[in-house]
Structure 1
Amino acid sequence: MSVRRFVGANSRDVMRQVRETLGDDALILANRRTEGGVEILAMADEAVDHFDPSSAPVPPDTSSSVFSLPVKDPLEAMSERLLREMQDMRELLTRRQPAPAVEPEHASDTPTRLYHLLLSVGFSEELSGEILAGLPASLTEAGVDSDQPLAWLREQLMARLAVLTEESSFFEQAGIVALVGPTGVGKTTTTAKLAARFVMRHGTRPVALVTTDSFRIGAHEQLRIYARLLDTPMYALDLEQPIDDLLGRLQGKQWVIIDTVGMSQRDQRVIEQIAQLQGGRSTVRLVLLLNAASQPETLEEVVLRYRQAARAAGAELDDCIITKQDEAGRLAPVLDIVMRHGMRVLFGSHGQQVPEDMAVATPAGLIDQALSSQPSPTHRSAAAPVSLPRWSRDVLGQGRRLSSVLTRLRQRVAGFAHLESIWDIAALPGGIQDERLDRLLDDVRSADHALGMAWSARRNERGCDWSMPDVGLDADGAWVALPHLQHRHPAGWQPRLAAQSDAHGIAVHLLPSLPEPDVLAWLEAQHLTWVSLVSASQRVYFQGERYTQRQLFIDSTLTHHISVRFRGQTMQLWSAYAEVQDTAGNALLAWYGEIRDPESAKRVGRRYWLTPARLGTDVITLLVTQLQSEGLAALTKRAWQQLKDADSGDVSTEIRLLMASGAAAVAGHLDTIDDDDALALRTDLVRLLGTQRKRRDTALLDGLVHVFMARDAIRQLSSVSREGLL
């Protein structure tokens, strides 16, 4: 048996049994409290990749009937599901993309030129190969004089560099901040710079300075001089003194900054120092200072060791400040390390003046400085030390790709962060999912900035017990990531249109069928933009005669065409229009469109629309949007089935439908846009999936669902680790 069950009186007792049986590297799959104490399912780490769920232990049937089949223990079912996710994650994280080989400097192809540039300014082979593996084919053959490849490279580097979005968000958050790092990195000067910037915003009363540096001669005096200049109090904390001893003296101070003792990353007391900072009742935010002028190998080790010390103390160390930028010959090495370890840069420091020589980090400024540095002819790049295993760097690389994709989706797709929140709710216990969903939707809708709505037909999808949600449109006409559930709208076309227009400012309505005349009259009276899909038998008046749409266009010659994405393929929409009236005499434009294969000119579909005549022919872009939105239902069905197979019925129908339709909207959005950023994002998303698909829209959908599931699996494993079970 791979999976073993352990039962003990308490957690310590049962963990002792696990270690004695399976060793210190045992993998905890699940735990729960029972009447007899604590029960844990565990297995040896090396058995994960060979685990067969069918071999997992099944408790005997306790029913009285001899014909009954076993009922599986929910704890074991959860452990099997977690193991499958871990196996999928291991397969995902162990995939590696080959880096382009280093060629001579005079090589003419674009990948080699960019690779040579990255290495020469100080980026590592690891990060350089990872980025260039996603170079779009359209840029591969770009000429030497083209600026597009370098612009694409700059955007890729910026997307991987996390920074503080607003300075105010750092100084407005009350609490205790501790600057940590090796000796001589500039902690005391940076402490003064941060304190000065806070005083400039909030005055001297809410701030206090603290030093733990009692080793360096004059260390207290240096910070005391800064404190006197800023007119702020300063306190000294001995290295072995608990931080709680200061809390009584810090009453009324909203923002406290601690200048810690500088220690080598190899000093074992680093762990003790961070443990001291985290041992009190107040949470201390750790910020690591990185000297831009240090050797890449030293910086790598500093980040690795200090983050290990933080984890050992039960803390997180994700923020950093880059110091001594003015002394660094190249900035790329430190940025490379920050990117590969997923840290966030808060500020950059470039001199001794307080507070002038410090600025909020900006991706554009840092990347431009890195790329414009003097290239090194030796191509020496930042390399991870021997202490970081190769497989660890592979895992970090895949994690960076995953993080980069999610970051760019948040920036690119309106409402994507809200869709992530829906996935977060799906991971909660079923009893609180609906209540959390109601609260989230209230908050989201009150701040929804959608410009339009692609309304879906008011019926269940074929073969489904749910109806396709309505999808919002942003200011650019792209789909918003969090759709609207139909049953949460008012009944009747006019009430639901009015609710969206009045409460949320929706001004554009793409209708699946022509509403009643009174609804059309209301739309016209409100001067709202609308288009309506109609049937071929829809009757209109043309030059005083009554025609069906089919009769009206039966002999029409289609002369205008525009490119569209239809059923995952690039097609052309050929169209014609005529000025008509409805039964009430309203001036309308009747439209006929044929979807054709651009290569064979074969017709694959036809559509009819009615639009207000006052909008003119510019409305064609809305017809394209509505046509392309037809594919969202099929994508939603696909995602719905994937989620249903994965969640074992633990997710409510509403939440699963929002997850599925939201993923479909994002995949459809990425499928229909063609700028360079979108192309790079599509490439990275499909690469994370690891396999090729014939249809681009379904490949993007599968990749997106895979990204969400990978994100959730990582979060689940991380939470188990923080609970002390691993």
Structure 2
Amino acid sequence: MIVKKFEAETMPLAMKKVKQEMGVQAIILNSRKKKTKGIFGLFKKIRIEITAAIESGPPEAGHTVSEKDVPPRTSAGAGEQQRKETVRAPSSDPARAAKEEPETENHISAFLEHELNPEILQEIRKEENEAAPFWGRVRDHLHKGITEIPAASRPGDNKYIHLIGPTGVGKTTTAAKLAANAILDDNLSVGFITTDTYRIAAIEQLRTYARLLDIPMEVVYNLEDYRKAREEMKDKDLVIIDTAGRNYKDSSYVSELQKIIDFEEEADTILVLSMTSKFKDIESVYKRFSEVPLHSLIFTKMDESGSFGAAVSLAVKYKKSVSFVTTGQNVPDDITTLPLSELTEQLLKEIETSE
């Protein structure tokens, strides 16, 4: 396999370079924005960098790539097989392929730029219904995936909610929003438990919310404390457990959580993620936290995000519902339920208007 990086001022120009040098069989492994060094650290410019690969050398000049040019695939594992499938699989009808290729290439570039998982685009190019426009096939594929996702439970359906996730995503503020809305809208009795003993500020922040909402709060340091705290709040309708945010790359993080929280107890464990993150980053976070049972997702910082592609991609790929999205720091206002189908339509509209 030949792997190479390409740079250009825009995504379409970078994709054009890939196509010219490696052909339509190129596999897009990664895309990112990078800053040039500039002059004395000033006047930096943003460029697009694409990492692409091909299983064999690029096509010879004047040679049209066809199905027979694709090397036979081995029975590799599912993950490796997906990486080897190309987003740009050629059409079986060369005339139609030549007609639709520029438009399809533009759509692919737009979807990649908005953080839609390349694997989704690969799957769509392999589908049999090639008569439908590529844009419509993306919409149909995403909505079909959404129908396979179980509905998220509501606060109060289960007495306990664990909020877990990496540092900086806003778990404590989200806990306060959930509690305030449960009290004000659903008239539920609520309690807080926090395991975030790494930061005194985090404890004081949650304690302030507890005082304002006039609800109890317990700080736990180990599994015994956790079980005692749950027993103390057994009369509550809803107990929200806030956890410490740590570097998800630390392999010991989740195992440390398991020493404090009994994830086997009946509870909804919700992974909190930032919508401003790239797909490959939130997928890495998801894989790390999937060592414990995950029931749904909450995406924060929707108001700061330039794209919803990563959020939609993760939910569809791992069949996880999105319980809530947050749109700011205000408690209790800046949190809402947003059906994944609606988030997907917003993504498609966002891409369509940017083209």
Q: Same fold (TM over 0.5)?
A: yes
The question of 1:174 aligning with 2:158 is answered yes
The question of 1:216 aligning with 2:203 is answered no
Residues 98 and 221 of structure 1: is their aligned pair in 2 closer, same or farther, counting only changes over 3 Å?
Answer: closer
For 1:325 and 1:212, the matched residues in 2 are separated by: 26
Larger radius of gyration: 1
Q: Pick from 204, 207, 220 the counterpart of residue 237 of structure 1.
A: 220
Indicate the structure whose relative CO is greater, using CA pairs within 8 Å and at least 6 residues apart: 2
Deviation at 1:364, TM superposition (A): 3.1
Give the conservation status (yes or no) of the 8 Å contact 1:122–1:330: yes
- TM-score between the two structures when normalised by the length of structure 1: 0.34
Query: What pairs with 1:625-644 in structure 2 (closer than 5 Å)?
Result: none
Q: Which residue of 2 aligns with 1:631?
A: none
Give the conservation status (yes or no) of the 8 Å contact 2:87–2:119: no
Deviation at 1:163, TM superposition (A): 6.2
Q: Pick from 123, 127, 133 the counterpart of residue 130 of structure 1.
A: 123
For 1:164 and 1:358, the matched residues in 2 are separated by: 21
Q: Pick from 352, 357, 367 the counterpart of residue 344 of structure 2.
A: 367
Q: How many residues align?
A: 267
For 1:151 and 1:101, the matched residues in 2 are separated by: 16
Q: Which residue of 2 aligns with 1:358?
A: 335
Q: Which residue of 2 aligns with 1:333?
A: 310
Q: Pick from 141, 150, 155 the counterpart of residue 135 of structure 2.
A: 150
For 1:151 and 1:137, the matched residues in 2 are separated by: 11
For 2:327 and 2:257, the matched residues in 1 are separated by: 27
Residues 323 and 102 of structure 1: is their aligned pair in 2 closer, same or farther, counting only changes over 3 Å?
Answer: farther
* Structure 1 residue identity aligned to 2:144: A
* Structure 2 residue identity aligned to 1:351: G
For 1:92 and 1:274, the matched residues in 2 are separated by: 30
Q: Secondary structure at the match of 2:127?
A: coil
* Structure 1 unpaired stretches of 5+: 1-89, 141-148, 311-315, 378-726
Give the conservation status (yes or no) of the 8 Å contact 1:179–1:260: yes
Query: What pairs with 1:26-41 in structure 2 (closer than 5 Å)?
Result: none
* Structure 2 residue identity aligned to 1:303: Y
For 1:121 and 1:269, the matched residues in 2 are separated by: 30
Q: Which residue of 1 aligns with 2:88?
A: 101
* Structure 1 residue identity aligned to 2:215: T
For 1:219 and 1:241, the matched residues in 2 are separated by: 21
Give the conservation status (yes or no) of the 8 Å contact 2:194–2:243: yes
Per-residue Cα deviation, 1:236-291 (whole angstroms, up to 9, x for no partner): 112464421213311311211101111211221321213431167x4232110111
Q: Pick from 169, 193, 211 the counterpart of residue 185 of structure 1.
A: 169
Give the conservation status (yes or no) of the 8 Å contact 1:287–1:321: yes
Residues 165 and 301 of structure 1: is their aligned pair in 2 closer, same or farther, counting only changes over 3 Å?
Answer: closer
- TM-score between the two structures when normalised by the length of structure 2: 0.66
Query: What pairs with 1:357-506 in structure 2 (closer than 5 Å)?
Result: 357-373=334-350
Per-residue Cα deviation, 1:112-141 (whole angstroms, up to 9, x for no partner): 44433322322122111112322623325x
Q: Which residue of 1 aligns with 2:61?
A: none
Q: Which residue of 1 aligns with 2:234?
A: 251
Residues 92 and 225 of structure 1: is their aligned pair in 2 closer, same or farther, counting only changes over 3 Å?
Answer: closer
* Structure 2 residue identity aligned to 1:369: Q
State, as a whole percentage, how many aligned pairs show the same letter.
28
Q: Which residue of 1 aligns with 2:17?
A: none
Q: Secondary structure at the match of 1:258?
A: strand
Per-residue Cα deviation, 1:125-181 (whole angstroms, up to 9, x for no partner): 2111112322623325xxxxxxxx534422321232366747xx4134132111001
Give the conservation status (yes or no) of the 8 Å contact 1:214–1:238: yes
Q: Pick from 168, 186, 192 the counterpart of residue 202 of structure 1.
A: 186
CA RMSD of aligned residues (A): 3.1
Deviation at 1:340, TM superposition (A): 2.0
Q: Pick from 127, 134, 145 the counterpart of residue 160 of structure 1.
A: 145
Q: Which residue of 1 aligns with 2:8?
A: none
Q: Which residue of 1 aligns with 2:24?
A: none
Residues 107 and 353 of structure 1: is their aligned pair in 2 closer, same or farther, counting only changes over 3 Å?
Answer: farther
Residues 172 and 290 of structure 1: is their aligned pair in 2 closer, same or farther, counting only changes over 3 Å?
Answer: same
Q: Secondary structure at the match of 2:131?
A: helix
* Structure 2 unpaired stretches of 5+: 1-74, 91-97
Q: Which residue of 2 aligns with 1:121?
A: 114
For 2:86 and 2:343, the matched residues in 1 are separated by: 24
* Structure 1 residue identity aligned to 2:205: Q
Residues 229 and 159 of structure 1: is their aligned pair in 2 closer, same or farther, counting only changes over 3 Å?
Answer: farther
Deviation at 1:334, TM superposition (A): 2.9
